[in-house]
Amino acid sequence: MWNKIANIAFALIFTASLAGCGGSDTPSGVSAGAQSEDGSIVLTGAEMDRASDIFFNTCAGCHGTLRKGATGPSLLPEARTSLLGTAGLSAFITNGTPGGMPDWGRQGVLSEEEIDLVARFLQVPPPEIPAFTLDDMNAFWKLHVPVAERPTEPQHDRNWQNYFGVVLRDMGQVAIIDGDTKEKLTIIETGFAVHILRTSASGRYFYSIGRDGKITMIDLWMETPTMVAEGKASFDARSVEVSKYNGPEGDFSDKYLIVGGYTPSHFVIFDAQTLEPISVTSTEGYALDGDEYVEEARVASIVASHKDPLWVVNVKESGMVWLVDYTDPVNPEITKIATARFLHDGGWDLTGQYFLVAANAENKVVVVDVENKELEAIVETGETPHPGRGANIDHSTLGNLWLTGHLGENKISAIKTSEGDGRWTVVKEIELPGDGGGNLFIKTHPNSKHLWADRPLNNNVDLQRSVFVVDTESFEVVKTLTVPDKYAGRAVHLEYNKEGTEVWVAVWGTMEDVTAVLVYDDKTLELIEEITGDWMRTPTGHFNVYNTVHDIY
């Protein structure tokens, strides 16, 4: 029944202690009680508050804060929850589904009492989402180190372009690690569940965005990397990016920053040097067919063009790609391109002209010609594509390829992006070992002959703890690497160092587990370093400065 119920990638929370323990800043004002249409289910105001917090942190990423559905189905009473009832809903929450929904109860993430509460919550109308305005953002904004007080050159002799930012997800922290020496340089308190890190165009700054909508700006030139500003764009967010264009129309590199909101659905433009809010633009609107008005139209991902003063903003529920011209950040000019629903994540092809993004609920990848501001193609792939930013390969016979993995099946699809026969079609499929999908990320590097893939969302424990190395010429899986037994958790996310000689893999465990980031030699495929310690808790994404600046993936 729920064969596509959850893409946990949006939430990445299988281990969090969600009903307390620091959680996120959920929308305020949810204090009134509620009851089901027939009056059989009644929740007090306190129960609504608690259930809203659990749902927001655990379920909203896939099902929407308003519970209207996205990658996961609608969870409104009239859609199905009243029919399933408390017992049926509790069974799904406890046991999960083969299609990818986590088994929250069996994992021990939610107690029986919490599961019962959420099951009852799903049978009453969802609470309203309050606004989050520029005044709210200004009230939260903190400039810790003014621009004039920051150094004008690096205050150390380290190779800062090879720094890594490692998300310690449930700790609400980001660790900055020297990629050359593997030393932990500092830990920055960032807020709840950082989703990604992006760099400034120069690479000097890391910007983190959390699922609580908080942004932190980290200066890597200081002797010890330091948070110099912080802000907040929404109650929930997934994407952040800077302006990167420097050309005939002006030098806009590192001038502006954009954050895409999930809740409320909008994007916000900030001053990239200070994080002072400049403008907010709602993404509500009609879906691509023009018939349905979508109130919860969340910004799933954003990339910056190097060739034009544009951000590519992917509006999930509406299936619209917005090209946002930031030359006037107060009143940005927007070109809207109808594509496919529901948009998630993606990246550039090797030329930087085309942006490819997964419409994962429709098993498609959308291709947008950003230079000409038009839809180029829609490509059928496998079940629930999940590319992250994808991976680019210049193949000797097939030409330029952009690849995506899948949550729903054990294959990686290679789409031809260069001109010639087969362009914008899947020209090669790579089968990964074992049944089922569960791939979240793939990664390669121009200096490597390998493509790496993880499987953290597969039901099989052995596959969850493995990464798979593929030869980029033959497309054969040449080695399967497994997390050492001494570390609990799943292997997740892959990132090369600047030179493309090492691959870093996170071991994603619980708050109680001391885990690690494992470093492999990309040539020998041997484990060469284990970055660990009492501070290494719940590592997930990790981002290399140089590769992030230059969109190397």
- Tens of pLDDT, residue by residue over 108-167, are 778 999 999 999 999 998 887 788 999 999 999 999 999 999 999 999 999 999 999 999
Each residue's pLDDT tens digit, 166-209: 999 999 999 999 999 999 999 999 988 999 999 999 999 999 99
Q: Spell out a b/e string for 229-252, using b for 16 or more CB atoms within 10 Å of the CB, else e.
A: bbbbbbbbbbbbbbbbbeeeeeeb
Question: What is the spatial distance between Cα 413 and Cα 425, in angstroms, rounded to a whole number?
Answer: 10
Cβ burial 288-318 (10 Å sphere, 16+ → b, else e) = beeeeebebbbbbbbbbbbebbbbbbbbbbb
Tokens of 194: 């950082």
Q: Per residue in 469-504, pLDDT tens?
A: 999 999 999 999 999 999 999 999 999 999 999 999
pLDDT 10s digits, 199-232: 999 999 999 999 999 999 999 999 999 999 999 9
pLDDT in tens, 346-359: 999 999 999 999 99
Place of tokens 């205050």: 155
Residue 533 has pLDDT above 90, yes or no: yes
Catalytic residues: 59, 62-63, 101, 344, 386
> Which pLDDT belongs to residue 14?
29
Contact 153, 202 (CB under 8 A): no
* Residue 91 burial (CB count, 10 A): 15
C-alpha distances out from residue 348 to 207, 302, 368, Å:
20, 11, 10
pLDDT band at 61 (very low <50, low <70, confident <90, very high): low
Which tokens belong to 357?
């993004």
Q: What tokens does 444 get? A: 């390669």
pLDDT of 29 strictly over 50 = no
- Paired strand residues for 404: 413
Q: Per DSSP, what are the bridge partners of residue 35? A: 42
Q: Give the domains, in start order, of the chain with CATH numbers.
A: 8-121 (1.10.760.10)
